Each structure stands twice: as C-alpha cells, then as structure tokens.
Amino acid sequence: MALIRLPGFDDVLASHARIAPHVHRTPVLTCSHFAELSGAELFFKCENFQKAGAFKVRGACNAVFGLTAEQAQRGVCTHSSGNHALSLSYAAARRGIPCPVVMPRTAPQAKKDAVRGYGGMITECDRSTSSREAIFAKVQAQTGAEFVHPYNDPRVIAGQATCARELLEQVDGLDAIIAPIRDGGMVSSTCLAVSSIAPGVDIFATEPKDADGTFRSFRTGRIHADDAPETVADGLKVPLKDLTWHFVSRHVTDIFTATEEQIIAAMKLTWKRMKIVLEPSCAVPLATILANPAAFRGRRVGVIITGGNVDPDKLPWMKDQGRFAFGDSRLS
C-alpha cells in the first residue's frame, strides 16, 4: 500500500490563506430551544451557508488552487455522492479548468444540478462504492485529469480543517465538537485542527445506525467498509480510508449512532426552530445530542452543520408522516 503524506497544522495555515478569496468565514449560531432540550450550550458552525453550500468547498479549493499551472491544464476529477463533486466543480470553475465527476444515479437531483451549474461534467454510476470507483478509473484514464479524492487526500483534509480552526476562534471555551462521520473527511480535518490548537477539546463523531461502519471500525480497531448502506443521510454512505482512519482512530473521543427516525426528526426541528436549510447528514449530530443528553449536559459543544444542499421537493418527512419527534416515548 502506497504511503500517504499526513497533513500538518502548517498545511492548515497555508490552506487558509490560499482559499480565503474563494470561501466564506461562516457564522456560528445558537438556539435557546435546543439548549433547553439538551441541557448543553450548543454552537452551530453553519457550513450550509458556505460557497457551494457545503464545507467540502474548503478542501476542494485548497486542492485546485494548490495545483501547478501544468497540473491545472489537465483539469481535476473525482467521484462523489454530491457535495464534493459540486465543491470541486465550483473550485474548478473559479480557476477556469475542466472537472469531470462520477456520481451515483441516486444522488439528489439538487446536487447534480449544482454540479452542472458550476460546469462539472457528470458520468453516472450505481450507488455502490465499488461501482463508483470502477467507473471513475475509466473516466480518469480517458481525461488524464488530476484526481482530488473526496476525503482521503491531505490537501482536502488540510483545507477542511480551516472550518474547525474558525470555530475555535469564534467560540471561547468549547468543551467538545461534534460532527457527522462516514468517510471521516470532516472529522479527520477537525482532529487535525483541534489536536493542534486545543487538544483538551473532546471530538465526537456520529453516523446513521443503518450505516454504522465507522462506529464498528472504532469499536474493533479496524476499518469496516460496507459497500452500499441504505440511509436517508446520503452524504454518509462511503467508508473510511487509511488517511482519515489515522486521525479518527487517534483523536476521536467516541462515536455515536442515530436512527433514521431520529435524524429526520432533528432535521425537521432544525428547519422549524432555526429557520435554516440543512441536509439529513447534517442533522445526525443534533439527533445524537438530543437522544443522549447525559453525554453533553452542562457542556459547551460546537456542532458542525456540514451542508445545505437538499432537494426541497423530496424532504424526508414528506415520506414519513409518523410525526416522530424528540420527547416521543418511542425514544426510551
């Protein structure tokens, strides 16, 4: 197995300077209702307000604008369920280079539309990771473009670590940060920033119970790679890789899971109470906090909302009219 260079905090500082003209310094919001429900002070880092609607634009911009002129001429390419594809398309458009991407046929239409809107060229694949990677290999061979992996790439991790760096600058005295996990991209970048700036801050990760490969990996000490899990959280379906596992296995305090019903309830409640748009994947941390209040009560917790690219015509509660809500007896 080829060795991958680990990014360091110097890479984070360099990437923050490199991407500054192309990304937002996103706001941190609070919500008294969620503080009352959880017993914790929650600070929501809103990457749903980011350029391209997701934190992944930070890593994509770092990779694209870090290319030499010769590398950039060939363009960039990737495979992604959505947010990395549209983020890389955005970054490539800013630099004026081509961006072919491979996406599952089942990816949300809103994300496909955004990719095409930024000039990305989509080749579709089946929803499994194996199909995605096999078709991508053909696309890359045909185009010769620079592969920017959606998460297992030191340039991407260093760029994404600027999110947690900002959060630590914006909120004093955090006890913990929690973020969604599957491939480990956001959480590994959070580990990189937090371990360098505030090593006493706990890092919690959370994922769908129906796609709990990272939870099982954390418990057994080795990567569990499910090929095509089913979950409403479409951004949390691909497995860990060696680079992200390096950070997760060394720096994460604990990993929780949330049921599909809990995720949908937390997403809907956030829309209602905070009046912001977020994806199902981004609701997993809040679902975890509300379902496990004892783990967070009395603490100052940063909650990373990773993105807001969702199809408004296919909101998950439109399918499930069971009116599941936190406080429902079915949680006990």
**pLDDT tens for residues 172-212?**
999 999 999 977 789 999 999 999 999 999 999 999 999 88
Inform me whether the pLDDT recorded for 331 exceeds 50.
no
Inform me whether the pLDDT recorded for 332 exceeds 50.
no
SS3 256: strand
Angle between helices 185-197 and 56-65 (to 10 degrees): 80
Q: Where are the alpha helices (DSSP H) in the chain?
A: 9-19, 32-38, 56-65, 69-73, 83-95, 109-117, 129-143, 154-170, 185-197, 213-220, 242-251, 260-274, 280-291
Which residue has better confidence, 317 or 24? 24
SS3 28: strand
Total residue length of the chain: 332
Lowest mean pLDDT: which of 109-113, 186-190, 277-281, 328-332? 328-332
Strand partners, 121: 100
Inform me whether the pLDDT recorded for 3 exceeds 70.
no
pLDDT range class, residue 15, cuts 50, 70, 90: very high
pLDDT tens track for 231-259 = 888 777 777 788 889 999 999 999 999 99
Domains and their CATH numbers in the chain:
9-54+154-331 (3.40.50.1100), 57-147 (3.40.50.1100)
How confident is the prediction for the chain on average, in pLDDT? Answer: 91
Q: What is the pLDDT of residue 183?
A: 76
pLDDT range class, residue 321, cuts 50, 70, 90: very low
pTM over 0.85: yes
Tokens of 17: 């300077």
pLDDT range class, residue 325, cuts 50, 70, 90: low
Which residue has better confidence, 145 or 228? 145
Give the separation between CA 259 and CA 239, rounded to whole angstroms: 18
Percent of the chain at pLDDT exceeding 70: 94
Q: What is the pLDDT of residue 239?
A: 73
Inform me whether the pLDDT recorded for 322 exceeds 70.
no
